[in-house]
Chain A
Amino acid sequence: MLGLEKKDFTLLLIVFALTMLAPFLLNPFPEGSAMAQFNAGYPDLMQRFVIFGIFAIGFNILFGLTGYLSFGHAAFLGVGSYAAVWMFKLLSMNVLPAIFLAVVMSGLFALLIGFISLRRSGIYFSILTLAFAQMMFALAYSVLTPITGGETGLQLALNDPRILGTSATATGNIPVPSLFGLEMRTTADLDLGAWGFTFNVGYYFCALVMLVAFYLSIRIFRSPFGMMLRAIKSNQQRLNYTGLNPKPYTLAAFVISGMYAGLAGALMASMDPLAGAERMFWTASGEVVLMTILGGVGTLIGPVLGAGAIKYMENIISKINSDILHTWFAFLPDGLEDFVVAMIYPFIGKGWHLTLGIIFMLVVIFLPGGLVEGGQRIARALRGRKTTDDSGKSAKTEPAE
């Protein structure tokens, strides 16, 4: 179906169901309950799940298939954001032209940076991409201020020309991004007893874009092109002596993943029409590497899971503070309560990076295949049979049935 084999189509359907039902699934706890702070079903966070999911899916096409570790992919995310905001400023508040320009621009940047960086492989390639990204960050932050808004970032203003739209709404406000008049920030609330669910246009738009992006990545994984990319990771020498030129293949993968990053950047700008240089900072590039590895390098669904896990921790664990800990452990005797809270405190709030670091280390050491491998092991244990079959990884493809 849709040109996919049954296994892949099932995966696509599962992802479709999960994204469509996310407002329910991510809000399992009733409002006002002690667990309500673990609810992640609010539009802002759900949007980030799918946007970073797209970013990581694209990154995985390069890193997961070819093994080339780019440390500068946030640069393309930034380019996409800037391009989208400029489109909002100059053309119209419709998100489609913004996304189009963002993907084209990030593709062009990826072509240039990839062409130069791919002259080297391994750590030198990583350093080159990192250098380019930091260069672009520095430029965006300082000399290119007229284009990027410098420190304050690029924002919409009341006097933007906006050829195909209005500079300001009738009430004198800056118009908001929309899809042919359907505003991205529109939300509908549903209250079922103590539970509250929020449905946001922006989230569903991003989710549909992610589904398309995910579908295309499955096609790439199962295509001859995807097979060549895995062959590059496996043995470039043999590939050369088999009559294939690895360079255009890696460059194409680099450009495709750059365009995915640009798409993610454009969606970010579409949800909240501003762009800042910090999106291109090296920590942002590192984050997508973490997402991909945490979820499972070279697997189809891994990057999406990794992106979700990291964004969840960033937003939920960082919200826990010592007061909340004290209410949790109030049942303990006073002295013990303070002790337990003091032990846990470094791992919450601003310390969520520490939690992330520990989880990341545990995954790399015990689950080299990431969360996907974890899921497979659990599934295998549940089925009660130990198979040594490692072709279960969803990245492995067999050309014939």
Chain B
Amino acid sequence: MGILEVKDVNKRFGGLKALSEVNLSVKENTCHAIIGPNGAGKSTLLNCLVGKLIPDTGSVMFDGQSVLGRTPHEINQMGISRVFQTPEIFGDLTVMENMMIPLFAKRDGAFRMHAYESVSAERALIEEAEAMLADVKMLDKRNMHSASMSRGDKRRLEMAMCLIQKPKLLLLDEPTAGMARADTNNTIDLLKEIKSKRDITIAIIEHDMHVVFSLADRITVLAQGTPLVEDTPEKIKGHPKVQEAYLGEAH
């Protein structure tokens, strides 16, 4: 049994069958990549995992519990954190505040009325946030207005915000989309470091084969809403069906 079990998931948008009979099993402490050409249903599948969409049929079990019918914040509280294609951070807040919010969410749950306490009195959480910022080499930017940072820094910050919650599963939605080669390589290094340092399961949706083959332990190829094949990176590289459906096209 994997930590994430997707069984017979179907999702239709009007006449379009976005997902049909998707089965997926992500093992604990592995990095599982989901690849496929545009329109293969990768994003739809991801949105079904995080509560943004509800599949028409099928089940999604995370850590022994169903995620279906739960809202995104409930699913996050179960232990799934998500990194977006374009970094989603709190742009009006400082880097440090961006780090404090996931810490409060982790400690206090989805809502707590703490209107009289002071943020600056939370020494333990501040230290934790500082340690994480030091980890991703952003401690010097702690008081920066986060919207004014470069895209690469925003991406690092977003990852740090997700990791500080110590999620059981980290979902990455095309984390290097639109990035320059150098930034992409930095992101790969960052993810490799995360993988080696922590016990964490990563599910990654990615277009860039370079990223996928550098990181993934297992790869699922999705085409027209159905998993075509699932295997190790080495096997996937040489797989004729994959060549035909995907690699032959753009790469």
Contact = CB atoms under 8 A, between A and B. Distances in A.
A234 B76 contact: no
Given A226-B115, A241-B82, A243-B77, A234 B122 contact: no
A176 B142 CA distance: 56
Contact of B94 (A225, A242, A396): A396
Nearest to B125: A399
Given A235-B90, A241-B88, A399 B73 contact: no
A3 B111 contact: no
15 contacts: A219-B116, A223-B119, A230-B92, A239-B90, A241-B50, A241-B84, A241-B88, A242-B101, A243-B105, A243-B106, A391-B143, A391-B145, A397-B97, A398-B97, A400-B96
Contacts of B106: 243
Interface in A1-35: 3-5
Interface residues of B, number: 46
Interface in B52-85: 71-73, 76-77, 81-82, 84
A356 interface: no
Nearest to A231: B90
Contacts of B145: 390-391
Given A220-B115, A223-B117, A242-B161, A399 B96 contact: yes
A85 B142 CA distance: 51
Contacts of B100: 224, 227, 399
Interface size grouping (class) on chain A: 35 or more
Contacts of A326: none
A280 B64 CA distance: 54
Contact of B73 (A5, A241, A398): A241
A234 B90 contact: yes
Contact of B143 (A3, A241, A249, A398): A398
A248 B108 CA distance: 14
A233 interface: yes
B143 A219 contact: no
A400 B142 contact: yes
A114 to B, nearest CB: 15
Contact of B96 (A238, A248, A398): A398
A237 B87 CA distance: 11
B102 A242 contact: yes
A256 B93 CA distance: 23
A260 B113 CA distance: 17
A116 interface: no
Contact of A225 (B76, B96, B114): B114
B91 interface: yes
A325 B50 CA distance: 68
A121 to B, nearest CB: 16
Given A241-B73, A242-B76, A223 B94 contact: no
A249 B112 CA distance: 8
Query: 7 closest pairs, A vs B, by CB?
Result: A243-B76, A225-B115, A243-B105, A234-B92, A245-B110, A234-B90, A238-B88
A254 to B, nearest CB: 13
A164 B111 CA distance: 42
Contact of B122 (A224, A233, A242): A224
A401 interface: yes
Contact of B118 (A223, A238, A242): A223
Interface string A203-242: 0000000000000000110111111101101110111111
B115 A398 contact: no
A219 to B, nearest CB: 5
Contacts of B90: 230-231, 234-235, 238-239
A252 interface: yes
A244 interface: yes
Interface in B100-151: 100-102, 104-106, 108-120, 122, 126, 129-130, 142-143, 145
A233 B165 CA distance: 22
Interface string A63-85: 00000000000000000000000
B120 A400 contact: yes
A228 B104 CA distance: 9
Contacts of B142: 400
Given A242-B165, A243-B165, A256-B115, 17 more contacts: A223-B114, A223-B119, A227-B101, A234-B90, A234-B92, A238-B88, A238-B89, A238-B161, A240-B72, A241-B81, A243-B105, A243-B110, A244-B104, A245-B73, A248-B111, A391-B145, A399-B97
B92 to A, nearest CB: 4
A373 to B, nearest CB: 16
A219 B114 CA distance: 10
Contacts of B84: 237, 241
A5 to B, nearest CB: 7
Contacts of A390: 145
Nearest to B80: A241
B76 A241 contact: yes
Contacts of A398: 94, 96-97, 120, 143
Interface string B150-189: 0000000000010001000000000000000000000000
B166 to A, nearest CB: 12
A3 B118 contact: yes
B105 A244 contact: yes
Contact of B88 (A233, A235, A243): A235
Nearest to B115: A225
B165 to A, nearest CB: 7
Nearest to A218: B118
Interface in A350-401: 390-391, 396-401
Contacts of B97: 227, 230-231, 397-399
A401 B120 contact: yes
Given A241-B82, A242-B161, A399-B97, A5 B115 contact: no
A106 B116 CA distance: 21
B96 A230 contact: no
Contacts of B73: 239-245
With a 10 A CB-CB cut-off, give which of B102, B108, B110, B114 has the most chain A CB atoms: B110
